Amino acid sequence: MSGMPHYLQSTWACSILGQLIVLVLLFLKGNFRRVPLFTVYTTLNICQAGFILLLYVIPGISSANFLTLSWASEFVTLVAQALATTEILRITLKPYPGIWGLGWRTLASTSAFVVMVVALTSRGHTAGERLFELNRGYHLTFATAFIVCLLLVRYYSIRVPTAYKMILGGFCLNSCVEVLIYTFIQAFFHRDFDVHQERWEFLTTVSFVAALAIWVVAARKPFPAEDRQVASFSDSEYQQLSPEIDEQLRRVNERLMRLWKLEARPN
């Protein structure tokens, strides 16, 4: 680990420890059965950390090869992050298939729009800058689509279980910080961006440690069951919903389901 600064070693150690705690809690509390994709995401993050640490200690590895391999591992975890977040949103909206249909359509359209904007505004010159811009573009897309979906949940007054809310909040926090850090570095250190990679790694790792702390708190207890019913007032997750809100949700859900069925019919 001679190639990694000591301050970065410390934050990486905290990150790996936090991920291990989250993974152990997921298995101890049986939550891995309810959120398998989030469990896979956590496992892949631990594997990625070990892989990058290995790259640091391999003698004679070139900077280009290190960059390529580390970003390839990052791509795998980013895909897993998107799948894990979609899983949590699907669980949250499962009692309302019509609203979930609106939710995933909103996610897809928002993501496509942000990707187009990012592609048009990218100005990276070196390979490092382009990779950082792609990474920022992903997190910007992720955070924007996620916030839009949260606004949808908020608009329809859908109750999100606290544990799932904390997991989603950790994802959103990490992506928003990633975007802010990159934007700050690009604005003030654009000409020497590559030399600030270690500082970028340190700051983004700190934000990820903060997200892990939130996930540790969320994973301390068993997650709520997935098989909730819309009209089940005996279910503890919905006891705090008023009958008026529950009835409104049922009506909206039914209208949206009819709309999606009409769209699926052949012309």
Q: pLDDT digits over 127-182, tens only? A: 666 667 777 777 877 777 778 777 777 777 778 889 998 998 999 898 888 888 87
Indicate the pTM of the whole model: 0.77
- Counting other chains too, the contacts that 108-111 makes at CB distance below 8 Å and 24 or more residues apart are 110/141, 110/144, 110/145, 110/148, 111/141, 111/144, 111/145
Contacts of 219 (CB under 8 A, 6+ apart): 22, 25, 26, 29, 31, 163
Which DSSP letter does residue 125 get?
A: -
Looking at residue 39, its amino acid is T
Per-residue pLDDT of the chain (267 residues), as tens digits, is 445 677 788 898 899 999 999 999 999 999 999 999 999 999 999 999 888 888 877 777 777 787 788 878 888 888 888 889 888 888 887 777 777 777 777 767 766 776 676 666 666 556 666 667 777 777 877 777 778 777 777 777 778 889 998 998 999 898 888 888 877 777 766 555 555 677 778 888 899 999 999 999 999 999 987 644 443 434 444 444 445 445 555 666 566 565 555 554 544
Which DSSP letter does residue 241 get?
A: S
- What confidence score (pLDDT) does residue 237 get? 46
160: left (phi over 0), alpha (psi -120 to 50) or beta: beta
- What confidence score (pLDDT) does residue 2 get? 47
- What confidence score (pLDDT) does residue 206 get? 92
What's the CA gap between 3 and 55, in Å, rounded? 9
Pure H helices in 94-196: 97-121, 127-155, 162-188
Contact assessment for residue 174 and residue 208, using Cβ atoms and an 8 Å cutoff: yes
Residue with structure tokens 């700050």? Answer: 184
- Rounded to 10°, the helix 63-93/127-155 angle is 10
Number of residues that this document lists for the chain: 267
Exposed/middle/buried for 98, CB within 10 Å: 0-12, 13-18, 19+?
buried
Contacts of 16 (CB under 8 A, 6+ apart): 46, 49, 50
What's the CA gap between 49 and 53, in Å, rounded? 6
Exposed/middle/buried for 19, CB within 10 Å: 0-12, 13-18, 19+?
buried
Q: How far is CA 63 from the centre of its chain?
A: 28
185: left (phi over 0), alpha (psi -120 to 50) or beta: alpha
- What confidence score (pLDDT) does residue 247 get? 54
Residue with structure tokens 């909730």? Answer: 228
Q: Where are the beta strands (DSSP E) in 199-265?
A: none
Q: Report helix, strand or coil for 259.
A: helix
